[in-house]
Structures are given as structure tokens and as C-alpha cells.
Structure 1
Amino acid sequence: MPCLNEEATLARCILKAAASIEKLQLSAEILIADNGSTDQSITIAESLGARVINVEEKGYGNALYAGIKSSRSKYIIMADSDDSYDFSNLDPFIKKLRDGYDLVIGNRFDGGIEEKAMPFLHRYLGNPVLSFLGRLFFKIPIRDFHCGLRGFNRVSILELDLCTPGMEFASEMIVKSALNDYKVTEVPTKLYKDGRSRRPHLNTWRDGWRHLYFLLMHSPKWLFLYPGLLFFMIGLISYGASLIGELHIGNTTLRLNSFVYLSFLIIVGFQSILFYFFSLLRKHFDGNNDDILTEIYHIIINRLYIYVLLGVMIFLGGVYILVNTGTFPGTVPKTINTIQLLKTLLSSIICTSFGIQIIFNSFFLGMISKR
């Protein structure tokens, strides 16, 4: 149990955990990872026979990880020490662990949530949305990503080299388990209103953002590739159609400002796709031995000089459009159509920006591949 000034509820949690250990006839200990309590939490824990370790580095994740490393057991059950989790019903977790699962998550939505036990925003927005994104990004069949009651194989979790210091530790444990093909499942558990007399340590918006940030950082397809392809294709198709003639969407005709936004989508989408390939190469540099990833690496790295030349040709093509169509600065004919002028200028900008991006990114890849 991570602990930071939990004197109001810690004793009840320890006694309930001890009762479960006795009921299930387990060979187990109760470990408190204290994160700098200034109240009577440590005294209470030691008086009830729990082992206490002091964790100097602040943060929920730091406290939990220190507790995991200090544990002496094959399996670990972790839960908050605010008396909100059901320590009397640990049998489903133990059974799943003994069946060979590496990680077992409690599902509070299936087990039941007591009135006022979970804030409205957490229950109907934050948790469902983040859990949905976790399932979407990582194909994990978990509906309650942020349940604090969970069991796991100690050795398996330590092999993940978890590193987040805060509340996002809960997401990191699940995501990295999925990325390493661990057996992950969930069991129903009930959530009760906590017994604290103070505000919880969880900060709704800050910690929610940190969870989302972590999910995106470990899903480059959803962060870079899919948005990049969407922007690029919408911009390219719409802009290409506008070059042929007026483009009508419903009752709307695309005007000057629309061409600027479309060219912006094309450029941003292209750069986002390049970022995705950078993320793949980073995995290779980090020691990922996936055969497809290795093949992609060699295809790209061994042909960088070709990509530089390609970038130069595209850049010169953009300059050619600018110079040879009467749109070079200072040479614009007074009779030229304004819309046609803008289309030509934007076409030149798109080509020159593509060329520059390809050239610079190719050299950059060459530099990092020589490290």
C-alpha cells in the first residue's frame, strides 16, 4: 500500500488485508511504502505488524515501484490505503494469478461503485474515455484502466522497467504489459467511499493529462501516423481538385483562405508521417529486434543519399514553379488572376517545403544512425 498521511484509514486497510490473508491461508506480508508521512501513519502500520519502507522520492509511482522492489513475494496485491478498495474480496485476484496471468486489474464498473465513491467527472468522463483510448491504442481488454486494486507477478512487472513517478504509473503498468505480450485480465471489485477527512492526492486535470500523454507517447500510430494521413489526404485531394476548377462542398465554394488551410494540412500531415517513421527507428535504436522493424531501418538508412537527392529535386521543382509561371517576387503581372496566383504560390511553397523536410530529415537520420 502506498501511503502519505493516511492515519485516518490505514489501520482499517491493514486489518482488512490481514483478515483476507488469514481467510485465504496465504503466506504473505503487508508492506507499506511510506512517501513522507508526517502524521502517525508509520507508527500505526508498525504497531499492526506491517513492514514499512521509507520512499524519499515523491510520487504515487515512485512509492509503488519502491514497494514492488522491496517485496519478498512471488505475487503482489497493491491498493490505496484510503479504505476505498475491497480487501475482503481478494480471492479472484489470487486465482487469476495462480492461473498464470501476469497482471490482474480490478473493474469497479462491474463490481459496483458506492454512491459518492468516485467523482462525477472521473466516473462518466475521465476513466471511461482514457480506458477506451487504452483499448483502442493497445488492444487491451480492460474497461477500468485506473483501478488502484490490482495483482501481478512481481518478476514480470519488474522486467518492464517501469519509470513514471506519478499517477500515470497505473497506465504504464498496463500498457507495457500489453506491449510485452503479458497475460492481462480483469475481475470485478467494489469501490467504497474513502474514509479520508482531507482532499485526495489525485488532481483531476493534471493527472488526467499525464495519463493521456503517456498513452499517446506509446502509440505513435495514433499520435503521428493516422492524424498525419488524415490531414495529408484531405489536404491533397481537396487542393488537387481545386487546381482543376472551383471546388464546391455543399453550398460552399472554397475561396482564398481555404487554399491556405489546405496547403497547411498537406505540409503538417507530411511532417507527421515522417515523425511516425522516426518513432519506428527509435524503437530499433532502443534494441527492438522485430524483423519488420529491422528491414524498415535498413531500407531507409542505406538509401539516405537517394532521399537527399529526391528532396533536392522536389525543392527545385517548387522553385521552377515560382520562377517560370510569372509569380517570382517582383515579377507578378498586373493582369494575373488573384486566385490563380495564390494557387501557384502555394503549390511552390508545398513543393519547396517537402524538399526541405526530406533533405533535413535525411541528414538527421544519418547523424543519429552513426551514434
Structure 2
Amino acid sequence: MPSLSIVMPSMNEEETIKICIEKAHEIFKKYEIEGEVILADNSSDRTAEIAAAMGAKVIGPVKGYGNAYLKGLAHAKGDYIAIADADNTYDLLELSDFLEPLMNGEADFVIGSRLKGTIKKGSMPWLHQYIGNPLLTAMLNLLFNTSISDAHCGMRAFTKDALEKMNLKTRGMELASEMIIEASKSGLRIMEVPITYHPRKTPSKLRSFQDGWRHVRFMMLYRPLPFLLIPGSVVFILGALITGTLLLNGNAVENRMHSFILGSMFLVIGGQTLATGGYIKTYGLVHGMYREGDGGSRKLLNYHSLEKELVAGSLILGAGILLGLKVAWSWASSGYGSLAEVESAVVAMVLAFIGLQLIFSAIILSVMLLEVDTEW
């Protein structure tokens, strides 16, 4: 059985795959261990052919960055596993700095840091180096209580036991974030080592904004509370306070119609934001994204709670419709002139929206839970 497995995704890397595998063999020789190179490939050039000729195990075609790693890691048999890109931007000879802490029992998961190491000229766009990567890394650290300086460094190493503890699922670029999140949630000892990042010989396959959004979306899935549920609650409560205060003060609505409309908008926006946060939280629960601390969320998703949401939504919608009919009747009685009950019309609209939102939320959540035991 190999002691070290090196997994690399590849897509048309025939110019660099040879030197990457040669460096991997040097690491095997340095530590006098049995090793294997696993290439998860989706190339249309000679990358797979070159790798196979050098003794690498080629899996493919495999589409998707995360999917390539999932497939490659599933075949890894080593006690220690390292991952890196096949474009030679990461120097595999630096794997010694990753393996030493693992072999000495000092860490379970080691990740490289380009920002603490050396970034060669032309190897990383300024947008990634000074804005995108630091911003996404800071967001991940804040949400998941980690202390990583370069969360998107693709050169990493971990023990086989650590891999089995990480519940890796994502098939896109967001796997880089998921791996750190899962390592932290699993209580793994994470260590960071500085590395050198080299320029690519071929054009980069990264898509800055699309890939960045995928990471944000994934963190939002894991932590909908700070992204949507808390902001939604604040906006909704603020809207309720503004509209409620003006309505209770009698003529205040007429004198502050703009504030009244603004408060009503806050109610609508806050309700929509809360509903979206609920959808995301439910999706995460259904797909096993959370391991602990979600007992309250699970109870809210049982069948009886959804029934109550349908009833509540229907009552609120009914109230809005009745109020709207009253306004329409008054308008018709006045000969269809100027509408005097503007505040009542706005309140009717808001009630109708919130009622419909509750009804649609109940329907959507019930559909998401169709294949799950809703009693948990």
C-alpha cells in the first residue's frame, strides 16, 4: 500500500504534467516511501497519455474542479494525501514542508499560504491577490472561526483519517472552501505553511467573479443566519416599527407618507429575505450540511409547523383582501375620484404580500421535504 498519494486535477496540461510527476517521484525518493500519483483528467491534449506513461493512475474524463478532486481522493490509498494543480504553479518539491508536520503528528491538515510566502511576478492577478482572496478568506475566518491567510491555496496535505472525517460533497471551485470548513468543524489540527507560487505557462481557467460568487454562495449555504436571517429580521422589524408607529399616531401617516411607504417596503423586503434564508437553511438540512446545533431548525420543519404556516398565511392574506375590498368599495362609493385611503391601500398590499409569501414558503418547504422524514 502506498504511504503517500498525490492527487492532481488536470485539463490540457501537457506542457507541465511531466515535470509535476517528476517532482512527485523525487518526494517519494526523498522519504523512501511507496507513493502514487492520481490524475483526475478532463483533457483533450496528451496530458493523460504522458501521465500514464510515467506511471500515474489516470481517471477520466472528469468534469469540474471539485468533482475531479472527489473522484481522485476516492482512489487515494496512501496514509498521507497531498493535492495540487497539474500546471506547476505549485512546486511539489515543497511538499516536504507539508508532510513533516503530518508525519510528526503535529497536524492533521496542512495548507499552503501564497500570501505569507512568495508570489512570483505574473502568477496572480492583482484583483485576486489584494481584493478577492483576502476578502473571501476574511469572510470564511469570521464565519467559521478559522485563522487562515490564504483559503484558496490549492496545495494541501492531510492524513487519510482526516479525509474520512471531512464530509466533502461540492463539485465546483467551492470545494476549496468546503475543505477548510469541514476540517474546522471536524476538529482537525490545521497548520499553514508559506509556499512559492509560480506563473502558469498556459492561460488560467479561473473565472474571477463566477468562482468568487460560488464561494460566497457556499458559505451562505453553511451560514444563512448572518447572510440573510439576521439582516432580514432587522429590516422586517424596522419596517414594522415605522409603519406601526405612524398608524398609531393617527394623522402622522398623512404628514409622513414617504416614511410610511418606506416602512412598508422594509416589511416586504424583510419578509422576502427571511423566506430566502429559510429556503437555504432547509436545503442545507435536507442535504446533511449541518452536523450539530440544528435541533430547533429541524423542529420548525415538521409537518404540523408547515400546516400552521399555511393557515397563518391564509389568514393574513384574507385580512389584506378584506381591507383591499373595503378600500375599493370606498373608492367606488366616492365616484372613482382621488383615493383618500392611501394608508389602508398600502397596508392591504403589504398584508397580501406577506400572506402570499407565507403560503408559498410553506409549499416550497414541503416540496423540498418530500423525500425526507419530516418528523426527523
Q: Same fold (TM over 0.5)?
A: yes
**DSSP-derived class of the 2:190 partner:** strand
Change (3 A) 1:112 1:255: farther
Corresponding position of 1:351: 351
Name stretches of at least 5 consecutive residues in structure 1 with no aligned partner: 248-252
Displacement of 1:203:
2.1
Q: Show the 5 A alignment for 1:56-205.
A: 56-98=61-103, 99=105, 101-154=107-160, 156-157=162-163, 160=166, 162-178=168-184, 180-183=185-188, 185-196=190-201, 198-205=202-209
Displacement of 1:119:
0.8
Q: Show the 5 A alignment for 1:2-41.
A: 2-39=9-46, 41=47
Displacement of 1:199:
0.8
Displacement of 1:269:
1.1
State the distance in 2 between where 1:289 and 1:61 align. 20
| TM-score in terms of structure 2 length | 0.80
**DSSP-derived class of the 1:330 partner:** helix
Displacement of 1:294:
3.9
Corresponding position of 1:330: 332
**DSSP-derived class of the 1:108 partner:** strand
State the distance in 2 between where 1:337 and 1:329 align. 6
Displacement of 1:79:
0.9
Displacement of 1:278:
4.4
* CA-based RMSD: 3.4
Deviation per CA, 1:172-196, whole angstroms, max 9, x where unpaired?
A: 3223334x42415242222333251
Deviation per CA, 1:43-85, whole angstroms, max 9, x where unpaired?
A: 54345x4413131122222322222122220221111122222
| TM-score in terms of structure 1 length | 0.81
Displacement of 1:292:
5.7
Corresponding position of 1:273: 274
State the distance in 2 between where 1:209 and 1:367 align. 26
Change (3 A) 1:159 1:112: same
Contact 1:326/1:332, CA 8 A, preserved across alignment: no
Contact 1:164/1:172, CA 8 A, preserved across alignment: yes
- Range that drifts further, 25-34 or 343-352: 25-34
Counterpart code for 2:214: R
Identical aligned pairs, as a percentage?
28
**DSSP-derived class of the 2:39 partner:** strand
